[in-house]
Structure 1
Amino acid sequence: MRGGAKLGGDTQGKRVTLPRALSKLGYCSRTQAERLIGDGRVTVDGRTVTDISAWVDLEGSSIKVDGIGVVAEAKVYLMLNKPRGLVTTRDDPEGRPTVYDCLKGFDVRHLSSVGRLDKASEGLLLFTNDTQFAQTLLDPLTHVTKTYHVQVDRIVDAAMLAEMAYGVRHDGEMLKATSAKLLRSGDRNSWIEVELDEGRNRQIRRMLEALGAECLRLVRVAIGGLELGELPKGTVRALTGAELKDLRRRSGLDATKRN
């Protein structure tokens, strides 16, 4: 079936493209869905569909892959205290340990991390099969804050903190923290708290590098109002209903939005 056909009967229900339907049902990513559709493995109401632009009724269409019906999976929302040294990927071609090694006991086939923490970073990392929730949390327009505790290789003064909040340029890109404040200082280094409302690649490390400093440790301690707390390293737990509701509100998925 070609040409952006409308499938699934009348226009009632929730109409989405077929790849998006498979993604929203938690079956696979949209990219994976497009491959399945192109290979002729997907049927809608008994008809094979090979057009990735075809529209379906998410609530009323019968969608099957390889003859097996696709139904919505229960939504899963997990938080992990990521240890240092793990890469945030499902399969690493270099054979390094990954964050998914911490999720043993969970069905991870359709779970994806919400954003990333690089190999040297630690702390709060979310996983879900709710693609809309993940995309909204990552959208810079929602301004859901992420809070980090950062060990810096020097005594940090008020001027450096002010520069981080004002913005610094690194490799032609302006990088800015929502806020930066001193937590404590020792004889040779300091711990600071940095808050971001966007997630650029290695943003805090690059900001410090632009200021002539080095990041010794970086721990994400909160996303919005969700705090890492006392969750042990390498341990995963499900979000509570109240935690999920708060994140949805902050990201604008619920009616009232507040960071």
Structure 2
Amino acid sequence: MMSRSPSMTNPSDSYPMRLQRFLARAGVSSRRGSERLMTEGRVRVNGTVVTELGSKIDPLRDEVSVDGKVCTLADRHCYLLLNKPAGYLTTMSDPYGRPTVADLVPVDEYPGLYPVGRLDADTTGCLLFTTDGRVGQNLLHPSHNVDKTYIACISGSLSETEISALEHGVEMDGCTAAPARVEVIEAGDRRLVPVRPDGLREREQVVSLTVHEGRKHQVKRMFFAVGHLVKSLHRARFGPLEAGSIPEGSWRLCTDAEIDALFSAAGLERGG
């Protein structure tokens, strides 16, 4: 068994990944098959044969080859959907050690994974992660008008005048929000569950609000502008993606059809 090359990463480096995981993600073989390739001495990292199954590499820096053929993840981006629970910051690290969404997704298996946009710590729901910076950037760009649908439990009840203000562009903090789509959710509607699983309390209302802007605290600010506080907030949809049946705090990989829809929403041609 040969020792690892000095240029290989250790667990403290930026994006360490187990070598057999890298090989599986690169489409070389299954995880178990990749382990067999390693033990047979057919895998090299930066020119050095690596047979130790615990070995880790940095896909951004290290060159991996099998039988002399270089392997790459360049065309195998990850697109992953998390049903974010409350109490987690939308960041990949926190200097104060507070819980972050990075604790909930497989960052070791998908180096470079990051959240597309942000949800407040107390907001739950649909949060896309990807390693594809081009798609992520385009989905957030104002020119693409990607819809985000939120289910909000608010204090009081919206009047027709207030609904009209939200639908035509409400003034908030010296700027005008883009027009939103508003729907009052009735008791018994399953969409009420993420924000009020035990039912509505007195002087509360559940409202679906669809916006395409992404300003800081936008939904809370829009409701505040028409005189209502947001008591709880859940993002039910981001572009073509829905949290749906994903348990809170869990994630799943996007389907091929969903990835196609993301590229379309981002104004990109898949594979182009």
1:96 aligns to what? 98
Residue from 147, 159, 169 that aligns with 1:145: 147
Q: Does residue 244 in structure 1 map to residue 246 in structure 2?
A: no
2:221 aligns to what? 206
The residue identity in structure 1 corresponding to 2:240 is: G
| Per-residue deviation, 1:176 | 3.0
The residue identity in structure 2 corresponding to 1:228 is: A
Task: Give the distance between the partners of 2:211 and 2:60, measured in 1 at CA.
Answer: 41
| Per-residue deviation, 1:156 | 1.9
1:75 aligns to what? 77
Q: Percent identity?
A: 35
2:86 aligns to what? 84
Residue from 233, 242, 250 that aligns with 1:218: 233
Change (3 A) 1:132 1:104: closer
Deviation track 1:221-256 (CA, whole Å, cap 9, x = no partner) reads: 11122211111000010000011111211221139x
Q: For residues 174-193 of structure 1, what are the structure 2 equivalents within 5 Å? A: 174-184=176-186, 186=200, 187-193=202-208
CA contact (8 A) 1:76 1:128 kept: yes
| Runs (5+) with no aligned partner, structure 1 | 1-26, 28-63
Residue from 147, 154, 157 that aligns with 1:155: 157
Task: Give the distance between the partners of 1:79 and 1:97, measured in 2 at CA.
Answer: 18
| Runs (5+) with no aligned partner, structure 2 | 1-14, 16-58, 65-71, 188-199
Residue from 168, 171, 174 that aligns with 2:173: 171
1:197 aligns to what? 212
| Per-residue deviation, 1:69 | 4.1
Change (3 A) 1:182 1:78: same
Task: Give the distance between the partners of 1:167 and 1:151, measured in 2 at CA.
Answer: 20
TM-score where L is the length of structure 2: 0.65
Residue from 111, 114, 124 that aligns with 1:112: 114
Deviation track 1:10-60 (CA, whole Å, cap 9, x = no partner) reads: xxxxxxxxxxxxxxxxx8xxxxxxxxxxxxxxxxxxxxxxxxxxxxxxxxx
Change (3 A) 1:65 1:119: closer
Aligned length: 192
1:35 aligns to what? none
The residue identity in structure 2 corresponding to 1:234 is: G
Task: Give the distance between the partners of 1:191 and 1:224, measured in 2 at CA.
Answer: 21
CA contact (8 A) 1:168 1:210 kept: yes
Task: Give the distance between the partners of 1:235 and 1:177, measured in 2 at CA.
Answer: 32
